Amino acid sequence: MLDLAWAELGRFVVGSFALVFAVGCVAIVIVALWTRMDAGWRLLFGSAALAALFFAMRRVRTIRRLCDHGVEVEAHLLRVWDSQGSETDFRHADYAYEYGGRSYEFTVRGVDFFMSFATRYGERVRVLLDPEQPETSVILGTMYH
């Protein structure tokens, strides 16, 4: 479970490096100015921090549920494609897996100098999915021949 949670954190940080960098810079400024802020600003930034913690805890609960009740399936690489944001280039690796007679897709994304991150898993991966919500999944690792 800890390995999956750590991998999810890494996926978020690398997949949205610019966002994480900007949030980190803002957090440093907030910490430095915290004692000088009035109550309204403290409430605003405290609420934002609690919201971020809430979403992180939801993902941890999802990962815990997948570890306890998940089903392992194989996913195949469908395509790799690049896109450009306003200031950032992205590489996307689209994967698909089947469960219960239906097909599901998910995308791994990398940015700028982390673009190879998107394709690091290769063509075949092991996915752990929620049997009650098969579109909810997490990559366990690469399938080796």
Query: Tens digits of per-residue pLDDT, 29-66?
Result: 888 888 888 888 888 888 988 888 888 888 788 888 88
Shared domain check, 107 and 57: no
Query: Tens digits of per-residue pLDDT, 97-145?
Result: 999 999 999 988 877 666 677 777 788 888 889 999 999 888 887 766 4
**Mapping DSSP to helix (H, G, I), strand (E, B) and coil, where does residue 104 land?**
strand
Q: How many CA atoms lie within 13 A of 38 on its CB side?
A: 1
Shared domain check, 77 and 20: no
Number of domains in the chain: 2
Domain housing 107: 70-142
pLDDT value, residue 59: 79
Shared domain check, 76 and 63: no
Shared domain check, 61 and 76: no
Strands of the chain, DSSP E: 71-84, 89-99, 102-111, 124-130, 133-142
pLDDT value, residue 145: 47
User: Which of 45, 67, 89 represents a domain boundary (last residue)?
Assistant: 67
User: Which of 67, 83, 114 represents a domain boundary (last residue)?
Assistant: 67
Q: Which two tokens stand for residue 80?
A: 């790799």
Shared domain check, 80 and 63: no
Contact 94, 77 (CB under 8 A): yes
